[in-house]
Structure 1
Amino acid sequence: MPFAPVTDAELYYEEHGTGFPVMMVAGLGGVGAYWNPQIEAFAQSYRVILHDHRGTGQSSRSKIAYSLEQMADDTLKLMDALDIEKAHLVGHSTGGAIAQILCVTHPDRIARPVMASTWTKADGFFRRCFEVRKELLLAAGADAYVKATPIFLHPSWWIRDNIEKLEKAEATVYGANPDIDIMASRIDALLAFDWTARLGEITHETLVLGVANDHLTPAYYSHELGTLIPNAEVMIMADGAHAASQTMPDEFNRIVLDFLREGSA
């Protein structure tokens, strides 16, 4: 199993395919396996790298105060460890927030960023969603939190049609003996994130991909990012909810791959 060193920790990662690197950065769950529906399609043309965030999956369970800035730094250090000078970055939700930070702080390391189902900063709606999820985690425990998560992430029809697959995947989302304190700290990191004042510094051609029925990071966030990032292209999928990359993978893959290929045309 490959692990890469970062500051006082190790990150589990996987590589698939060859070609120009694409860093695929997952959301709050943090597990690289989130991107399984994308691997085959992307690895046909690219060197695909995915990883478990620190505190999740098989990566180190560091007892730190988590932040989006720390997660962005871990992503950059993973690139350094793999001798990746520059890469496309496809970020989902929290991964999209990481993309915002890296596009501002290390613009030369990112080629074409994709910010999917992400947000600008916690407003009243976002704060209420994540405060409720944190309260559930602390009061009822990790199992209840994991079981409730698809209600926020997936459309009802997808849960109905994939309940057995979903329950099987839930058993490995956070690995054995999930650490509630780490999970709660990662939620706090999302609530503290706000780089809106610097989004105008992003000069990359950026794809902001939202979903019309995303009820965790509503499409109005995508439109706001499109306004604040000068060279952003906003696309809104009609269906798929927050985890559209899993629930509508063919459409998601086509949209993102078309955007990445435009950069090499």
Structure 2
Amino acid sequence: MPQYELESVVFHKDVLAYVDLGEGPPVILVHGLLGSHKSWGPQIDMLAEKYRVVAPDLFGHGDSDKPRGDYSLSSHAATVRDLMECLKIASAPLVGHSLGGGIVMQMAYLFPERVERLCLVSSGGLGPEVSTYLKAATLPGSELVLPILASGWVRRNTESALRHLGRLGLPVQPSPSAVETWRSLGTVADKATREAFLASVRAVVGPRGQTVSAKQHFPRFETLPAMLVWGGKDTMIPAHHTENVRQEVPNSRIEIFPDAGHFPHLDEPYRFCRVLEQFLRAGTEDASKG
């Protein structure tokens, strides 16, 4: 179980919750849609053995306030910048998952002095393809369908059906990626969370797929160390989006976990932590040689 407590700070009259754990060089973890610091699973504790780990619940998510307003990538990026300023972190490596990947790339564009290196995990913004579920969330009427899907009745009956299939001997053991997706879907039963989710997803996705592209940021990767980590079985955002970066920036490091889904850091936590620490240590080693 996690050994940390949430802290909080007020920005523009709204409370932002975050984890600040460990000592050493800072690293910032930015979760994705419907996520929170919990979406990082054991990564926070493992990384905190060597690093100062900061993991916010973005506005509209987790234990942070859910105000009505701007949920664009730029707004989220400004919040991360404000948190770094508050915590007196001048710059750090940023790790972004899914929507969080788009946010940290926007950070590199808006506040380049804050970003030492980027790790993009199953990131948005690298290609148009995205799951039908996210595209459906942008359609009129989705605000009426989501509370039904997240209702206790639907969730109880779905979980009961899975247990029944398990008793029949059918293989229904969900992956950690599937468990986290199911958990996060349940949060839209809350009206404020649902409204924030719809505002966030509609800022980057349309009926035909992702509407925001980070391609204009690719030249920045020539000088900014970058690593992409993806699950080969990701059904939310396909792993072949990594090729879009490889073609433009061949020096970027790419790690594909063939058997992982949309949350490779949950499906293969020890492998992910090992790969990430190698990437972070490379920054320290490079600095010590300078």
TM-score, normalisation: structure 1: 0.84
Shift of 1:17: 0.8
Determine if the alignment matches structure 1 residue 160 to structure 2 residue 174. yes
Which residue pairs with 1:62 in the alignment? 67
Q: 1:142 to 1:46 in 2, by over 3 A?
A: farther
Cross-structure match for 1:132: 136
Structure 1 residues 119 and 141, CA, compared in 2 at 3 Å: closer, same or farther? Answer: closer
**Structure 2 Cα separation of the partners of residues 217 and 127 of structure 1:** 6
Q: CA deviation at 1:104?
A: 2.2
In structure 1, the partner of 2:159 is none
Task: Give the match for residue 151 of structure 1.
Answer: none
Secondary structure of 2:281 counterpart:
helix
Is 1:93 the counterpart of 2:112? The answer is no
1:244 to 229, 240, 264: 264
In structure 2, do the counterparts of structure 1 residues 62 and 159 end up closer, same or farther at CA, with 3 Å as the change threshold? farther
Q: Aligned equivalents of 2:257 and 2:66: distance in 1?
A: 35
**SS of the residue 1:22 aligns to:** strand
**Cα distance, 1:76 vs structure 2:** 0.7
Alpha-carbon distance between aligned partners in 2 of 1:119 and 1:106, rounded to the nearest angstrom: 19
Shift, 1:47, TM fit:
0.2
Cross-structure match for 2:234: 214
Residues 137 and 180 of structure 1 are in contact (CA less than 8 Å); yes or no, is this contact kept in structure 2? no
Q: Distance in 2 between matches of 1:86 and 1:175?
A: 37
Task: Decide which of 220, 227, 245 is 1:201's aligned counterpart.
Answer: 220
RMSD between aligned alpha carbons?
3.0
User: SS where residue 203 of structure 2 aligns?
Assistant: helix
Q: Which position in structure 2 is the counterpart of 1:235?
A: 255
Residue identity over aligned pairs, in percent, reads: 23
Q: Which residue of 14, 19, 27 corresponds with 1:22?
A: 27
Which one-letter code corresponds to 2:227 in the other structure?
Answer: L
**Residues 83-137 of structure 1: CA distance to partner in whole angstroms, max 9, x if unpaired?**
11011111111111112111222222111210110133562x3274422244585
What displacement does 1:211 show?
1.9
**Following TM superposition, by how much is the alpha carbon of 1:227 offset from its aligned partner in structure 2, in angstroms?**
3.0
Letter in 2 for 1:96: G
Alignment coverage as a number of residue pairs: 256
Secondary structure (helix, strand or coil) at the match of 1:160 reads: coil
Q: Tell me the CA shift for residue 230 of structure 1.
A: 6.3
Q: Show CA shifts across 1:154-208 (max 9, x none).
A: xxx7853669976995598569654422221111122242232232123211111
Q: Does 1:188 align with 2:193?
A: no
Find the aligned partners of 1:119 and 1:132 in 2 and give their Cα distance.
16
State TM-score, norm by structure 2: 0.77
| Alpha carbons 1:159, 1:166 under 8 Å: kept | no
Question: Which runs of 5 or more structure 2 residues have no equivalent in the other structure?
Answer: 1-5, 156-170, 206-210, 286-290
State the 1:256 CA deviation: 1.0
Determine if the alignment matches structure 1 residue 115 to structure 2 residue 120. yes
Most deviating of 231-240 and 170-179: 170-179
Judge conservation of contact 1:208–1:226 (CA < 8 Å) in 2. Answer: no
SS at match of 1:111: strand
Q: Residue in 1 aligned with 2:111? A: 106
